[in-house]
Amino acid sequence: MDLTEDELIAAVVRVLSGAGPEVRVGAGDDAAVMSVGEGAELVLTTDTLVEGVHFDLELTSARDLGAKAVTASVSDIAAMAASPRAAVCALVLPPDVEGSWVMELMGGMRSACDEYALWLVGGDLSRGPALTIAVTVTGEVAPGRAITRSGARPDDAVVVTGALGGAAAGLRAAREGNASAATLLRAHFRPVARVGEAATLARHGATAMIDISDGLALDLVRLCAASRVGVRLEVAEVPIAEGATVDDALEGGEDYELIAAMPQDSVERAGAELRETFGVPLTIVGHLEGSGALTAVDRDGSGAPLQPRGWDHFAR
Amino acid sequence: MDLTEDELIAAVVRVLSGAGPEVRVGAGDDAAVMSVGEGAELVLTTDTLVEGVHFDLELTSARDLGAKAVTASVSDIAAMAASPRAAVCALVLPPDVEGSWVMELMGGMRSACDEYALWLVGGDLSRGPALTIAVTVTGEVAPGRAITRSGARPDDAVVVTGALGGAAAGLRAAREGNASAATLLRAHFRPVARVGEAATLARHGATAMIDISDGLALDLVRLCAASRVGVRLEVAEVPIAEGATVDDALEGGEDYELIAAMPQDSVERAGAELRETFGVPLTIVGHLEGSGALTAVDRDGSGAPLQPRGWDHFAR
């Protein structure tokens, strides 16, 4: 492929533009939003895990994999400040997969669906050369209340939930066979989607949100591009999971924490509610700027261009 | 795999049972149906095409493939007597796929979405070893008006729309390089989903419906199993596409015509409306029976067990 993931997405989004008035948010955000009847909008997203690209069957259990496949899509619904409602999964199964393994996978999917209170209502099974799990989740949000990537304003604070880099460090621990790194392993194999946290941030005035699936640097740059703003990211302020590195936090991906933009004076109350209700910290990691410049500010105060490096599925 | 496709689906459906009251139709039908707000129910289905299993890149164009991927899922929405509204696609792309090919594929998807008046609102791109296209379509139906596979009654007539076997014969023509078989090639590469036809059959009292994705024999047996009825299929009455064989019609699959059960005395008026409005014939091919026996009646009047042979993705 001659294009990066984001270049191809941009090209595809151009082909898909021009949707009707009932499409409130089309291709290019965490999820699409459509008007349906009165009182609610439908939110729709799909996410795929491919063997050898997103997971290694030697390292993950079928249950964890099923749960993670659902969680990744639920996280996209959360990033719109919506509530997940139903899921369907499309499975591609190589010939050597046992029926009992598929049942374990479905059990993990159902368990994640129970956790986030949505229903797994159907699916599709196909034969194919590589195990592939595509989960589509629908959600619901009050009309006009979805938070997109594109509503951020200059001078908004940039906040992140939780701590970052745990998933990348957990994958490294799993590859090294380090079973004592239980918290990191859990961060990688059983990540949590921030559904309630996202709704709380929206209630406190979040202007834009995105979930961290491909790393803070890349996903923050995507939010800035959609909102046509710049950012000064204070690298020293980024909350790093215990056992993880700065690079894990900036470029690791799959943490499924949230990046939000919100007015500076709302952060304290939002953070207090997140801590009390969910036990999850909220941290200011930078500020947006009207200039459009993307800057990573180091501990010593020196600035350098923020590199949108991260989990590009086409580069690996 | 130790199980057939239908055995594995049955096992998965057992794991997924026990959904909440807002799930009107869960796993195991053409599509799921959920309550959302007032005035409408949400219909949801997903369908996957895998290179080397469902299509051959040597034979199909990117545009036809994109259109067919959308049509296959729209056909599942149609079989519930619902209207398609929005689609998302999850693409897995091998490294050697060009960006321009992906654009052609998306163009084909968009063209099918235009044809059936739904919006392609998002998607997901992944790297992987085999080209895989999973399309999820949402639809809408008036509350309680979805037609499932399970509502058929003994003594209902079994009807099919259009002519069968064209897709299988078209695939054969493509493999033989027979470019003169334009109608058959079109049946295979650009099938039509019977959206308006399904709504018409529902209005005329259809009690159960299923689309023919895996062949008349297999899909009819699925409808009978879901409705707990038997059937006498009159093989000589099955409408066969010009250039196709009886086997193509019974076991070929991918015709995306509809099988419906409906009261005998409704068939004539339903058929007249289908012919006038859509130019599509409606043919009685048999009758349901309370006994549960599945019988294929031959031209000479002799009966034999109806074999649920067809497109089993796990047997190939």
Surface-to-core class of residue A228, CB atoms within 10 Å of its CB (0-12 exposed, 13-18 middle, 19+ buried)? exposed
**Is the pLDDT at A316 greater than 50, yes or no?**
no
Chosen for mutation from B17, B105, B124, B214 (greatest number of chain A CBs closer than 10 Å) is: B124
Residue with tokens 């290019």: A28
Q: Cβ contact (<8 Å) for A119 and B26? A: yes
Q: Cβ contact (<8 Å) for B46 and A123? A: yes
The answer to whether residue B80 sits within a structural domain is yes
**Is the pLDDT at A230 greater than 70, yes or no?**
yes
The C-alpha of A87 sits at a distance from chain B's nearest C-alpha, in angstroms, of 9
- For B129, name the nearest residue in chain A, comparing CA atoms only: A130
The C-alpha of A118 sits at a distance from chain B's nearest C-alpha, in angstroms, of 9
Strands B119-127 and B83-93, bridge-based pairing: parallel
The answer to whether residue B98 sits within a structural domain is yes
In whole angstroms, what is the distance from residue A106 CA to residue A121 CA?
12
Q: Which of B19, B28, B313 sits opposite A126 (nearest CB)?
A: B313
Three-class secondary structure of residue A293 per DSSP: coil
Given a contact cutoff of 8 angstroms between Cβ atoms, the answer to whether B36 and B42 are in contact is yes
Q: Cβ contact (<8 Å) for A129 and B36? A: no
- For B316, name the nearest residue in chain A, comparing CA atoms only: A127
In whole angstroms, what is the distance from residue A6 CA to residue A173 CA?
29
Given a contact cutoff of 8 angstroms between Cβ atoms, the answer to whether A282 and A271 are in contact is yes
Q: Which two tokens stand for residue A192?
A: 């949590």
Do B79 and B136 sit in the same domain of this protein? Answer: yes
Q: List b or e across A170-181, with b for residues whose CB sees 16 or more CB atoms inside 10 angstroms.
A: bbbbbeeeeeeb
DSSP-derived letter for residue A266 is: G
The C-alpha of A171 sits at a distance from chain B's nearest C-alpha, in angstroms, of 19
Q: Cβ contact (<8 Å) for A129 and B127? A: no
Q: Which of B119, B125, B130 sits opposite A313 (nearest CB)?
A: B125
Residue B97 with chain A: CB contacts under 8 Å: 1
Chosen for mutation from A25, A110, A127 (greatest number of chain B CBs closer than 10 Å) is: A127
In whole angstroms, what is the distance from residue A224 CA to residue A121 CA?
36
Do A167 and A128 sit in the same domain of this protein? Answer: no
At B8 the pLDDT is 85
At B316 the pLDDT is 42
In whole angstroms, what is the distance from residue B26 CA to residue A47 CA?
21
The answer to whether residue A147 sits within a structural domain is no
Do A102 and A161 sit in the same domain of this protein? Answer: no
In whole angstroms, what is the distance from residue B305 CA to residue B316 CA?
23
Residue B18, Ramachandran bin (φ over 0: left; ψ between -120 and 50: alpha; else beta)? left
Q: What is the pLDDT of residues A15-57, one digit of tens each?
A: 777 677 788 898 889 999 998 877 789 999 999 999 999 999 9
At A313 the pLDDT is 56
**Is the pLDDT at A151 greater than 80, yes or no?**
yes
The answer to whether residue B313 sits within a structural domain is no
A–B interface: beta-carbon pairs under 8 A: 265
- For B52, name the nearest residue in chain A, comparing CA atoms only: A128
- Residue B294, CA distances (Å) to B194, B207, B214, B245, B286 in order: 26, 19, 17, 22, 11
Given a contact cutoff of 8 angstroms between Cβ atoms, the answer to whether A160 and A238 are in contact is yes
Q: List b or e across A37-70, with b for residues whose CB sees 16 or more CB atoms inside 10 angstroms.
A: eeebbbbbbbbbbbbebbbeeeebebbbbbbbbb
Q: What is the pLDDT of residues A280-307, one digit of tens each?
A: 999 999 999 998 899 999 989 899 999 8
Q: What is the pLDDT of residues B202-231, one digit of tens each?
A: 999 999 999 999 999 999 999 999 999 999
The C-alpha of B58 sits at a distance from chain A's nearest C-alpha, in angstroms, of 18
At A299 the pLDDT is 87
At B223 the pLDDT is 97
Do B165 and B285 sit in the same domain of this protein? Answer: yes
Three-class secondary structure of residue B312 per DSSP: coil
Q: Cβ contact (<8 Å) for A44 and B86? A: yes
Do A199 and A286 sit in the same domain of this protein? Answer: yes
Q: Which of A115, A141, A167 is the last residue of a domain?
A: A141
- Bridge-partner residues for B44, per DSSP? B32, B138
Do B186 and B247 sit in the same domain of this protein? Answer: yes
At B26 the pLDDT is 87
The C-alpha of A52 sits at a distance from chain B's nearest C-alpha, in angstroms, of 8
- For A42, name the nearest residue in chain B, comparing CA atoms only: B36
CA atoms within 13 A on the CB side of B79: 34
Given a contact cutoff of 8 angstroms between Cβ atoms, the answer to whether A43 and A136 are in contact is no
What is the pLDDT of chain A when averaged over all its residues?
Answer: 93
- The CB density around residue B218, as the number of other CB atoms within 10 Å, is 23
Q: Which of A42, A90, A98 sits opposite B46 (nearest CB)?
A: A90
Residue B46 with chain A: CB contacts under 8 Å: 88-90, 122-124, 134, 136
Given a contact cutoff of 8 angstroms between Cβ atoms, the answer to whether A218 and A247 are in contact is no
Q: Cβ contact (<8 Å) for B92 and A124? A: no
Rounded (10°) CA dihedral A239, A241, A246, A248: -130
**Residue closest to B212 by CA, chosen among B187, B185, B176, B231:** B187
Do A180 and A137 sit in the same domain of this protein? Answer: no
In whole angstroms, what is the distance from residue B191 CA to residue B70 CA?
10
CATH of the domain at A187: 3.90.650.10
Do B118 and B220 sit in the same domain of this protein? Answer: no
Residue A25 with chain B: CB contacts under 8 Å: 121
The answer to whether residue B150 sits within a structural domain is no
CATH of the domain at A118: 3.30.1330.10
Given a contact cutoff of 8 angstroms between Cβ atoms, the answer to whether A184 and A165 are in contact is no
At B314 the pLDDT is 57
Q: Which of B116, B141, B166 is the last residue of a domain?
A: B141
Do A137 and A161 sit in the same domain of this protein? Answer: no
Rounded (10°) CA dihedral B214, B215, B217, B223: 50
Our measurement of the distance from residue B136's CA atom to the centroid of its chain's CA atoms, rounded to an integer in Å, reads 14
For B295, list phi and psi in degrees, rounded to 5: -125, 135
Q: What is the pLDDT of residues A99-124, one digit of tens each?
A: 999 999 999 999 999 999 999 999 89
Three-class secondary structure of residue A301 per DSSP: coil
The answer to whether residue A310 sits within a structural domain is no
* Domain span holding position B284: 157-305
Q: Cβ contact (<8 Å) for B42 and A39? A: no
CA B71, B76, B78, B79 dihedral sign is: positive
pTM above 0.80, yes or no: yes
Q: What is the pLDDT of residues B56-109, one digit of tens each?
A: 999 999 999 999 999 999 999 999 999 999 999 999 999 999 999 999 999 999
- For A102, name the nearest residue in chain B, comparing CA atoms only: B12
- The CB density around residue A265, as the number of other CB atoms within 10 Å, is 9
Do B266 and B173 sit in the same domain of this protein? Answer: yes
Do B94 and B30 sit in the same domain of this protein? Answer: yes
Do A170 and A32 sit in the same domain of this protein? Answer: no
What's the number of domains chain B is made of? 2
Q: Cβ contact (<8 Å) for B44 and A132? A: no
Residue A169 pLDDT grade (very low, low, confident, very high; cuts 50, 70, 90): very high
**Residue closest to B197 by CA, chosen among B211, B214, B213, B216:** B211
The answer to whether residue B316 sits within a structural domain is no
The answer to whether residue B204 sits within a structural domain is yes
At A191 the pLDDT is 97
Residue A4 with chain B: CB contacts under 8 Å: none
In whole angstroms, what is the distance from residue B151 CA to residue B208 CA?
5
For chain B, residues with pLDDT lower than 50 are 315-316
The C-alpha of A164 sits at a distance from chain B's nearest C-alpha, in angstroms, of 23
Three-class secondary structure of residue A306 per DSSP: coil
Identity of residue B192: V
Q: Which of A141, A166, A190 is the last residue of a domain?
A: A141
Q: Which of A16, A92, A121 sits opposite B26 (nearest CB)?
A: A121
Identity of residue A182: A
